[in-house]
Amino acid sequence: MSKKNQTHVVDNLWCIEENRFNQDTNKHFEGLFTQGNGYMHVRGSFEEGLRGAAQDEEYMRMPANVTLEQPRHTKSKWGTFIPGIVGKHPLLKEEIINLPYFLGIDLIIADEELNMEASTIREYKRWLDLRDGCLYRSLIWETEQGIDLKLCYKRFVSMEEKHLCLQQVQIEVLSGEGILDIRCGINPEVRTNGFNHFKEVLTEDNNSEYICTKTITDGGNSVLMLSGISASENICWSRLTQNQRIFFSGSRLLKAGDCLEIQKVTSVVTDRDLEEGTLIERGEKYLKYFFKEGWEKIYERHSRAWDSKWLYSDIEITGDDEAQLAIRTYIYHLIRANSENDSRVAICAKGYAGEAYFGHYFWDTEINMLPFFIHTNPQAARNLLMYRYNTLEGARKNALENGYEGAKYAWEASVTGEEQCPCWQYADHEIHITADIIYAMYHYVNSTEDIAFVRNFGVDMMVETARYWVQRVDRNKDGYYELLGVMGPDEYLPITRNNAFTNRMVKFSLEKTADLLQKIKQEDAKGYLEIENRLGLKELEIEKIKEVAEKLILPYDENTDIVPQSEDFESYADVDFNAIWKDRTKPFGNFISQEKNYRSKALKQADVLELMLLYPDDFTREQLTNAYDYYEPITTHDSSLSASVHGIVAAWMGRMPEAEKFLKKVMDIDMSEEKKGAAEGIHIANCGGLWQMIVYGFAGLKSAMWCDEIQLAPHLPDKWTKLEFTLAWHGKRYRITVTKEKHEITELY
Ligand code: BGC
């Protein structure tokens, strides 16, 4: 048999590596090594799984504060997600469905099974190459019978042929001999958060060239998976089923010096896809394409597609390899998680790398992730905003359900836009998202000059959300408007009075709406008439929008020159953090009851500082410093959205040791093996947070929301000698180079 060994160079600036197998960190690496292409995503689980880590355990996951939850499945959780394939859960509402596991490849030699926990393994290494999203594993397996095998695995989810996942394993016999049994299958014994969303699983078909699983979900979708197989040596494959599993089974005698390569290809299609043809036609088409073109050609197209993504997305840091790898990892996940041509879905809070948060969409998309897309792939940013336009009907239902006209965007959204949040305090009170979306749209428009977006789509979102706001406010005895019963970004104070962040966002949104309508009316009478007819808009409504915008209170305390988080903030109880927070490696929320937390001055995350980040011109440097000094010591950073905001503000103030402390925190959130942060999925908002920290914080880019020309005020961390990246700005691309001495902005085309 041919000897064909893979040689890999693991570039430590482009590859995330696991150097020893440890069952305690396995779940973390499964999340961190998630692969995907926008259309589908698979967690980085082992091909053969882990023994004793059942994936079909049924239980009722209760709605909870995800930050403090103790998740099940401590060792391993498979994950196969297709954005938009969601099902109903009795308590969690709509959740993304964890689909059948199609990565399965089991190896058994001389009756001994490869089992990462029990087998004797040497020279283990696993790594994800961020350049092309390929996941590798190499190891030497010493069996009890003295057979030594060198195994090299590689797999990728094609960035070009979005329905294909390719896997290969090379098996080289170093010593001994025995019969190798190989089983490559599709396994539907998977539950999502303990719930079975599969109404029917069909494995029957008459084709002997592939195995097939068709899953009918309780959300009414059909998902078809077809796997084909090829080997470098002649193997007679048979197709077997065991319960709902289906697999190819083949065997071959291997001797010292032999080398065998197995390739498995899986095509995944659903009835939700935007392509023509029946499921089986399409599934077979992709599979045939693989067998016609072969691994190399498909890999080349895939890797070129990744190259074109990196061309405008990469950030290069000289002097800090840890930060270099972290930003590339986070950018990789942002690119992977985004479905840039399907505006029926957005990016869920765990970046389609885990079941937590049920695949729901939050403000994370607009405020944390969108800036990355605006400046690297504006078309993708537009697509994300289109998702909000496409789900306006759901937002209208949310408003109606709460007794209002107009549109209220869901705190947690899914495919319909209807509220999915299972916990009342966020669903009812964390209302800022409705205005955040309008802010984000203007951020996109101001950065790209795509004014047509506002006229064609934005105006409906603006008028409808403004209608909601003018009813959601209360008029006080002095004739000013207030927003009562509000949870701001800080989720540890659920029902406050006039949250500074929320009120400013709403004011912005209403001002923009009134201005826009006035402008259209003056410049385009016909267009205005169309809007009036389409939305049933009345002149009086515009007056009301203007009035509320003008008279909406923005809390401020003249005596202290500190912007209060909410008007009533001072009245909450002070917290003795040292007495309560015994172990700072765990979230503060674990050490205090929710009831006590909700009446205390302990912040989960940046709130006023987030406001200052989004409206930098509203505040003086002194106010910024005052806010940082006041809020930072009482902020627990229990939310992963917090550290990056603090890091940016610290960099703006030139307090570099503090900024660097937050940089470390932001990197550790998903990169730290010790913290195991990626176990339940990627904190994808924090990925956008790191990008912002580097671009807005360290390069000091002034947000395109507030200026036309690129303006930089850099503060580089001590170790960084150079920072380079590319920015899309007003339809052009620019190369930004920052060193300690100077910065340069070069137009690319
Ligand atoms: C944070 C929210 C965030 C959500 C999803 C929560 O823990 O407090 O701000 O939107 O997670 O990431």
- Domain boundaries defined on the chain: 36-56+78-311, 314-747
* CA dist list (Å): 671 to 392, 428, 695: 36, 34, 20
Continuous segment of H or E residues that includes residue 260: strand 259-270
Neighbour tally for 106: CB within 10 Å: 17
List the alpha helices (DSSP H) in 67-141.
Answer: none
pLDDT at 3 over 50: no
Is there an atom of ligand 1 within 6 Å of 349 CB? yes
> d(Cα 469, Cα 510) in Å, to the nearest integer?
8
Q: How confident is the model at residue 7 (pLDDT cuts 50, 70, 90)?
A: low
Task: Name, in order, each residue with C-beta under 8 angstroms of 220's C-beta and a sequence gap of 6 or more.
Answer: none
> d(Cα 243, Cα 188) in Å, to the nearest integer?
9
Q: pTM to 2 decimals?
A: 0.97
| Amino acid 4: pLDDT | 47
What phi, psi does 32 have (nearest 5°)? -65, -35
Token couple for 696: 């807005």
> d(Cα 122, Cα 109) in Å, to the nearest integer?
17
Q: Is 351 left (phi over 0), alpha (psi -120 to 50) or beta?
A: left
What's the CATH code, domain 314-747?
1.50.10.10
> d(Cα 118, Cα 623) in Å, to the nearest integer?
59
Percent of the chain residues past pLDDT 90, beyond the cut: 94
Is there an atom of ligand 1 within 6 Å of 363 CB? yes
263 is in an annotated binding site: no
Of 177, 196, 190, the C-alpha closest to 256 is 177
478 is in an annotated binding site: no
604 is in an annotated binding site: yes
Ligand 1 atom, smallest distance to 641 CA: 9
Ligand 1 atom, smallest distance to 362 CA: 10
Q: How confident is the model at residue 9 (pLDDT cuts 50, 70, 90)?
A: confident
Q: CA angle, 166 as apex, 164 and 172 as ends, to 5°?
A: 170
For 563-630, where are the E strands, in sequence order? Answer: none
The CATH label, of 3.40.50.970, 2.70.98.40, 3.40.50.720, 1.20.210.10, for the domain at 36-56+78-311 is: 2.70.98.40
Across the range 588-596, mean pLDDT stands at 96
602 Cα: distance to centroid of ligand 1 (angstroms):
16
Dihedral of the CA atoms 474, 480, 484, 490 (nearest 10)?
Answer: 150
Q: How confident is the model at residue 639 (pLDDT cuts 50, 70, 90)?
A: very high
Of 117, 105, 254, 263, the C-alpha closest to 174 is 254
Across the range 130-144, mean pLDDT stands at 98
For 6-119, where are the E strands, in sequence order? Answer: 15-18, 35-36, 41-42, 80-81, 86-89, 93-96, 105-109, 112-113
Of 278, 279, 10, the C-alpha closest to 137 is 10
Q: 234-265, pLDDT tens digit by residue?
A: 999 999 999 999 999 999 999 999 999 999 99
> d(Cα 454, Cα 452) in Å, to the nearest integer?
5
- Catalytically active residues are 491
**Do the two domains 36-56+78-311 and 314-747 of this chain adopt the same fold?**
no
DSSP 527-579: HHHHHHHHHT--HHHHHHHHHHHHHB----BTTTTB--SBTTGGGSBP--HHH
Is there an atom of ligand 1 within 6 Å of 364 CB? yes
DSSP 677-698: TTTT---HHHHHHHHHIIIIII
Across the range 268-285, mean pLDDT stands at 96
Q: 56-89, pLDDT tens digit by residue?
A: 999 988 887 777 888 888 899 999 999 999 999 9
Percent of the chain residues past pLDDT 70, beyond the cut: 99
| Amino acid 280: pLDDT | 95
